[in-house]
Structure 1
Amino acid sequence: MSQLAAFIKEKRQQKPILSMTHVVYGYPTVQESLDWMARLMKEGVDFIEVQFPFSDPVADGPSIVAACHKALEQDLDVDTCLSQIGKLARDYSDSRIVLMSYLNPMYRFGLDKLAKRAAEENIQGLILPDLPIEQAASYQAACASHKIDPIWLVTPVTPKDRLAMLAGQSSGFLYCVARSGVTGHSSHEEKSQKTPLDDYLAQIKQHASAPMGVGFGLRERSHIEQLMGKADIAILGSALLDAYNQGGQEAGVELLQTLFTD
């Protein structure tokens, strides 16, 4: 069992579901993004998914795209990002940080170097949503060498054979996209009986030995409650960014407490 999976297993003994929040590094400034990450960790989030911005974030909806473009008005570099979030990882040991970005900036940085530097900074997971697993042999080898979990994504339209393959190869946790499309507003339906989302997660669970995180479109307490007993991590992205944009850290924390506090 990887360090990340062991952390999730231990935390899940205390909570019905874990929280993962998404923050764009450098938005609206580097220091403000780091301050927001620190505040979230002080508030007790279990994970922060730190996105190193890219000009064409194809999986992301308008809120995160706008944040990435604003962040890229500054001169950002991957190594500095890793050093700065590594300090947060050391300062707040009850939480974990995973780095998310797209292949282009990470490939330019060097995938082996990325895994090595992530390990040095105690960043235990990497998410590259546009890197197909079939073309990732060297990346997987680098991650294995440095004991980093490459986190794969599956969606409701992933073909069954491919879903089984991705779930079977997952470690750390498997990122389960809750619905088709980009991040942002939810198409969840309020239903008391079994929903297609339940069927989808049950199908994944047949093949995945790693924990399961679910994201895309989570905005209401009922969405989080629907995942309890079916997933290990609820991932809050665009909704948290929208709250932050509207009312700063306090509005973001209020949303977090509304969704995750019993």
Structure 2
Amino acid sequence: MSQLAEFTQQKLINKPILAMTHVVYGYPSITESLSWMRRLLEEGVDFIEVQFPFSDPVADGPSIVAACHKALEQTLDVDTCLSQLGELSRDFPESRIVLMSYLNPMYRFGLEKLAKRASEEKILGLILPDLPIESAKQYQQACHQYHIDPVWLVTPVTPADRLAMLASQASGFLYCVARSGVTGNSSHEDKAKEASLDDYLAQIKQHASAPIGVGFGLRKRAQIEQLIGKADIAILGSALLDAYNQGGQKAGIELINELFH
């Protein structure tokens, strides 16, 4: 069992579902994003998914796209980002940080170097949504060498045979997109779509031994409660960013408490 999967299993002894919060590195500034991450960790979130910005974040909705573009007005450096996340990881051993980005900036940095540096900084998971597993052999080898979990994504429209393959190869956790489309607003609360999500997660569980994380469109406590017993990690992205934009850290923490406590 990988370190991420073991961490999740241990945490689930005392919680019905774990919370993963999403933060864009460098938004609205590097200092402020690191302060927000530290506040989240002080509040006891289980995971932070830190997004290193890219100019064309194809899986993300308007809130995260705008945050990425704002962050890129500064000069950002992958190695510095990893060092800063490593400091947080060491300061808060009861939580875990995973790094998310797109292939372009990470390929420029070097995928083997990325896995090595992530390992050094105790960043145990990497999410690259636009890297297909068929093109990832060297990346997978580097992750295996440095004990890093490459996190794969599946969606409700992933073909059954491909879903089974990705689920069976997942190690730290499998990122299950709750609906088709980009991050942000969702209307999947109605009964038909609830049933569809339940069927989708049940299908994944047939093939995945790794923990299951669910994201995209989670905004209400009822959605989180629906996932209990069917998934292990609820991923809060655009909703948290929207709350932060409207009322700063205080509003973001209030949303987390409303959804998870």
TM-score by length of 1: 0.98
Partner of 1:156: 156
Letter aligned with residue 110 of structure 1: G
Letter aligned with residue 22 of structure 1: H
TM-score by length of 2: 0.99
Please give the residue correspondences for 1:12-161 in structure 2 after superposition, counting only pairs within 5 Å.
Answer: 12-161=12-161
Letter aligned with residue 139 of structure 2: Y
**Structure 1's 59 and 193: CA in aligned 2 closer, same or farther, altered over 3 A?**
closer
Q: Secondary structure at the match of 2:22?
A: strand
**Structure 1's 109 and 193: CA in aligned 2 closer, same or farther, altered over 3 A?**
closer
**Structure 1's 229 and 73: CA in aligned 2 closer, same or farther, altered over 3 A?**
same
**How big is the alpha-carbon RMSD for the aligned residues of Structure 1 and Structure 2?**
1.0
8 Å Cα contact 1:211/1:232 also seen in 2? yes
Give distance in 2, aligned partners of 1:52 and 1:194. Answer: 32
Partner of 1:168: 168
Give distance in 1, aligned partners of 2:186 and 2:230. Answer: 18
| Deviation digits for residues 6-39 of structure 1 (CA, Å, limit 9, x no counterpart) | 0000000110000000000000000000000000
| Deviation digits for residues 187-226 of structure 1 (CA, Å, limit 9, x no counterpart) | 2124399610000000000000000000000000000000
Letter aligned with residue 165 of structure 2: M
Give aligned pairs, total.
261
Q: Secondary structure at the match of 2:123?
A: coil
Letter aligned with residue 195 of structure 1: A
Letter aligned with residue 155 of structure 2: T
8 Å Cα contact 1:179/1:187 also seen in 2? no
Partner of 2:235: 235
Letter aligned with residue 146 of structure 1: Y
Residue 70 (structure 1) shift: 0.1
| Deviation digits for residues 141-187 of structure 1 (CA, Å, limit 9, x no counterpart) | 00000000000000000000000000000010000000000000012
